[in-house]
Amino acid sequence: MVTNPTKIRLPQRLENQIDWRKASQCIDHVGDRIIVEMFPEDRPTTILIPDSLRDYLRSHVGVVLSSPAYPYELKGVSFDAPSPGDLVIVHPQDGVKIINAEMGDYTPANEIRIYGAFAEYVGQPIAINWWDSILASIDKDKNMRAYGDKTIFRKDSANSKTSTGIHLPDGHHERNEMAVIISRGPLAHPDAKEGDRVSYNPHYVEQNGVDLGTGVNDFDYFIAGDFAINYVVRS
């Protein structure tokens, strides 16, 4: 059964007033935890918004307050965690979520999320590595870097015609779904690399991918694992 991808909401502006330096001085790091303060909701201050709409208005980008300072070694690959101050894109269903978190002399203005912890996931508690929950980092120009085994793709427009000029109905465009790899996580398979043009499987993307669109139906970017790639087109 094909479903819609999980949708990630990016903030309208990447500027923020989160004092991550002060926060990092007020808490001590523990284990593999990554502590993130989320961006505030994108909403008018003069309109009352029902609680049911707040998840839609909340962006899924936050600022790292605390993270491991040591490199990781997994599957023969060494990689670092995002550093305090980095902006990260997080999976909306993961992490321990804390409202009004107590942090000594630092008072968070927004929701705190803890990754690399035992947290509720798809209806039941489960331990998830931070590199499975923190999907990518993002700079001020919205350039993204993937983490874990994830890949960030830029999607080509679906081709609505066959080579003989016959129009394909919606639902059959997966026959020619193409994308360009923007970033590969350190644990992704080395057979594909950044800049490669690939054929991808939309069924896998729809069931297991993350949509990085900002409300546009035909989204331009998505994050998915290696199973999304059918083949790489030779340059």
pLDDT in tens, 26-53: 999 999 999 999 998 765 444 444 444 4
What does the mean pLDDT of the chain come to?
A: 81
What's the rounded Cα separation, in Å, for the pair 150 and 202? 16
Question: At residue 160, does pLDDT exceed 50?
Answer: no
What pLDDT, in 10s, does the model give residues 145-158?
A: 999 999 999 887 65
Domain boundaries, the chain: 6-233
DSSP-derived secondary structure for 163-183: TTSPBPPTT-GGGG-EEEEEE
| More confident: 58 or 224 | 224
- CA–CA separation, 89 vs 36, rounded Å? 10
In this structure, what are the phi and psi dihedrals at residue 117, rounded to the nearest 5 degrees? -130, 170
Tell me how far apart the terminal alpha carbons of the chain are, to the nearest angstrom: 34
The pLDDT tens digits for 202-219 are 888 888 888 886 443 445
Average pLDDT score over residue span 172-177: 58
pLDDT for the residue 58: 62
Q: What percent of the chain has pLDDT over 70?
A: 77
pLDDT at 49: 45
The beta-strand segments (E) located in 116-162 are: 118-121, 124-127, 134-138, 144-146, 151-155
pLDDT for the residue numbered 151: 95
Query: What pLDDT score does 46 carry?
Result: 47
Q: Name the token pair of 119.
A: 């947290």
2-11, 74-83, 94-103, 191-200: which range is least confident on average? 2-11
**What is the pTM assigned to this prediction?**
0.82
Q: Tell whether the model's pLDDT for residue 123 goes beyond 90.
A: no
